[in-house]
A and B are shown apart, each in its own frame.
Chain A
């Protein structure tokens, strides 16, 4: 028998993706829809001897082809004609959800209507007659309660037992379609016809609601009560800051960092000596051992130790998103963000930018207008991502041991201020003709399903692992080669290597910045490949063995490096170098993501060049003004 093709559609916040995860478990593949960067999720499974494929279509409120998501849904359903199309309806919010249902039925796409969150609907005082609804619409209706194994099994039974061609639109719906066709035929003004059709749809929805749903006056909902504290009045902003602080604390102190330390220990105390001994036993060539141990394990390992931090951060953000709180963050922050030329919805991707710019840039697609997306993408690189943090931590510990925390914090502030200024600038120049909009559903607070949170975390975080295995791997080999060879072959003195030549050429650019040595030039160059490499490169070049990329260990490393590196920097040029590192060109992975998201090399070139320029100017000002002031 052929594979049964199922597609899930529905509004955002209906529990559709949770249901999809419950149905398919880990058996999913995530790709992109052709031409756009909307995730395409497909899961495969077997139920009652039947092979089933399930596609999770993007959540949309309607299918008017106003957004890429809406286009995808419509095109997929009309062209692929899946065997079963499930319309996931949030039963506690049926009126608005039925709008999409009716639009789909107008195209005569037979649907299985899944009334999800039935438990929530009952709590909110709605009693829905499934039978009546089936009768009124003409399509099969299933009840589910969100995240439960039974709900998934129930749906699977329906998939395998239902033959959609047995169903057709009810007389009520056909009458509605006839009315719409009349409106279209009589209309002279397209816009006006569209509006009349929308009104017509809600008229039908009102009729359906009246007959299929009994509403009793419900008590003030739990979400309302929570919102009267979290999104209201005096405490909303402090609570929001506290929430962000908690996320950082969990990531950098409680969970993420201890895990990262453990992993680091495992690599440096376990793997490295083991490989070293193994290679010695096999008596391999010294150059090969140097490549494997110093180049590859050193380079890839330093990135791997970041993975726990990144995963912890994404876990927290996915969890908060699942609860519905992120929508409140957007609600609270909108006026502030608007002043910077952004919208409230942009807060979430920007917060992610403190973890890693890659998911932050990808997250920008959740924004409504092209302008908001572009500005958000272009200012993200100024933020202090997890890979820049070690640079800041190292320099602060080395040159400002008394004030390390304040110095690092001020770098974060410089990044944020720069992002705001640039957003404002882009807003009144490049994108001045485009409008930004803000219209956002505030979904009810819900306890997110752990399975979905974990899967989302994996989805976002795995990019890091891929990065460690590909670009960082290749780069580690490259840096090792460049720093150990020159035109005449292997070289003992690193100052005569290829890297010294490249670094020296770059250092010329920084003649007025106070740190124009080839070592620093080389560090800046490798930082464009991956920000993690800046510290690693400095470590190799200034001859500090076993350099660590972690903030905690930075103090120890700093004391080792101070001797050799101290000569290369003064306190002022160290600050200048930090400011430059904070702001300059994002890593190639981020640039690659910008290409993917904007679709144009033009924007990649722009993002790479304007950040470099901004960093160069700001750090130059820091150094020159600092010198004038006598530092």
Chain B
């Protein structure tokens, strides 16, 4: 599954990141293989989503979340 499919409240572990313009920035911000991510919420209009990782919160668009493969923890 991808991060896009994860529902609010779910905790997932990052498996891999597909190539994208944001890939390196995401990695610098700590979204790398093995990172545990908690899905906080979707924005009121459904997109973007807010996640929590490494004790901080980050928001990203669903289109970018779709490029992050994750596994349920």
Q: Is the pairing of A and B real? A: yes
Give Cα distance in the complex from A59 to B41, angstroms: 27
A62–B28 touching, CB < 8 Å: yes
Residue-wise, chain A 88-103 has the 8 Å CB interface mask toward B (1 for contact) of: 0000111110010000
Minimum CB–CB distance from B60 to chain A (whole Å) comes to 5
Minimum CB–CB distance from A128 to chain B (whole Å) comes to 12
Q: Which residues on the A side are within 8 Å of B64 (C-beta)?
A: 437-439
Minimum CB–CB distance from A585 to chain B (whole Å) comes to 35
Chain B: residues with Cβ within 8 Å of the partner, total of 31
Q: Which residues on the A side are within 8 Å of B43 (C-beta)?
A: 231, 236, 331-332, 334-335
Q: Which residues on the B side are within 8 Å of A227 (C-beta)?
A: 40-41, 50
Residue-wise, chain B 3-24 has the 8 Å CB interface mask toward A (1 for contact) of: 0000000000000000001111
A438–B61 touching, CB < 8 Å: yes
A61–B29 touching, CB < 8 Å: yes
A437–B28 touching, CB < 8 Å: no
Give Cα distance in the complex from A602 to B27, angstroms: 37
A40 contacts the other chain (CB 8 A): no
A336–B45 touching, CB < 8 Å: yes
Q: Which residues on the A side are within 8 Å of B28 (C-beta)?
A: 61-62, 64, 99, 198
Minimum CB–CB distance from A164 to chain B (whole Å) comes to 26
Give Cα distance in the complex from A353 to B26, angstroms: 31
B55–A94 touching, CB < 8 Å: yes
B24–A198 touching, CB < 8 Å: yes
Could you tell me which residues of chain A, from 327 to 343, have a CB within 8 Å of some CB in chain B? Answer: 327, 331-332, 334-336
B44–A441 touching, CB < 8 Å: no
B64's nearest neighbour on chain A, judged by CB, is A439
Q: Which residues on the B side are within 8 Å of A442 (C-beta)?
A: 50, 57-59
Q: Which among B33, B44, B61 is the interface contact of A233 at CB below 8 angstroms?
A: B44
A344–B24 touching, CB < 8 Å: no
CB within 8 Å for A199 and B55 given contacts A224-B40, A227-B41: no
CB within 8 Å for A441 and B41 given contacts A95-B30, A99-B30: no
Could you tell me which residues of chain B, from 38 to 71, have a CB within 8 Å of some CB in chain A? Answer: 40-41, 43-48, 50, 54-61, 64
Specify which of A96, A99, A233, A327 lies most central, judged by the most chain B CB atoms within 10 Å of its CB: A96
Give Cα distance in the complex from A195 to B56, angstroms: 21
Minimum CB–CB distance from B48 to chain A (whole Å) comes to 5
Q: Which among B21, B47, B50, B56 is the interface contact of A93 at CB below 8 angstroms?
A: B56
Q: Which residues on the B side are within 8 Å of A335 (C-beta)?
A: 43, 45-48
Minimum CB–CB distance from B66 to chain A (whole Å) comes to 14
Give Cα distance in the complex from A335 to B33, angstroms: 28
Minimum CB–CB distance from A287 to chain B (whole Å) comes to 62
Q: Which residues on the A side are within 8 Å of B22 (C-beta)?
A: 437, 439
A510 contacts the other chain (CB 8 A): no
CB within 8 Å for A124 and B55 given contacts A234-B44, A438-B60, A439-B60: yes
A437–B21 touching, CB < 8 Å: yes
B55–A439 touching, CB < 8 Å: no
B44–A332 touching, CB < 8 Å: yes
Residue-wise, chain A 223-241 has the 8 Å CB interface mask toward B (1 for contact) of: 1100110011110110000
A202 contacts the other chain (CB 8 A): yes
Could you tell me which residues of chain A, from 347 to 392, have a CB within 8 Å of some CB in chain B? Answer: none
Q: Which among B33, B48, B54, B56 is the interface contact of A331 at CB below 8 angstroms?
A: B48
Give Cα distance in the complex from A438 to B21, angstroms: 11
A242 contacts the other chain (CB 8 A): no
A92's nearest neighbour on chain B, judged by CB, is B55
Specify which of B24, B48, B50, B64 lies most central, judged by the most chain A CB atoms within 10 Å of its CB: B48
Residue-wise, chain A 404-443 has the 8 Å CB interface mask toward B (1 for contact) of: 0000000000000000000000000000000101111111
Minimum CB–CB distance from B27 to chain A (whole Å) comes to 5
Q: Which residues on the B side are within 8 Å of A198 (C-beta)?
A: 24, 27-28, 32
Give Cα distance in the complex from A334 to B50, angstroms: 12
Give Cα distance in the complex from A99 to B27, angstroms: 10
A194 contacts the other chain (CB 8 A): yes
A94's nearest neighbour on chain B, judged by CB, is B55
For the A-B complex with A198-B24, A332-B43, A441-B59 known, give 19 more contacts whose Cβ atoms are closer than 8 Å: A95-B54, A195-B24, A195-B27, A202-B32, A224-B40, A227-B50, A232-B44, A233-B44, A234-B44, A237-B44, A335-B45, A335-B46, A335-B47, A438-B48, A438-B64, A439-B25, A440-B59, A442-B50, A443-B56
Q: Can you give 5 contacting A-B residue pairs, CB < 8 Å?
A: A95-B30, A99-B28, A332-B45, A334-B61, A442-B50
| Chain A residues with a Cβ under 8 A of chain B | 61-62, 64, 66, 92-96, 99, 124, 126, 191, 194-195, 198-199, 202, 223-224, 227-228, 231-234, 236-237, 327, 331-332, 334-336, 344, 435, 437-444
| Chain B residues with a Cβ under 8 A of chain A | 21-30, 32-33, 35, 40-41, 43-48, 50, 54-61, 64
A-B pairs with the 7 shortest C-beta distances?
A95-B54, A442-B57, A236-B44, A335-B45, A93-B56, A62-B28, A198-B27
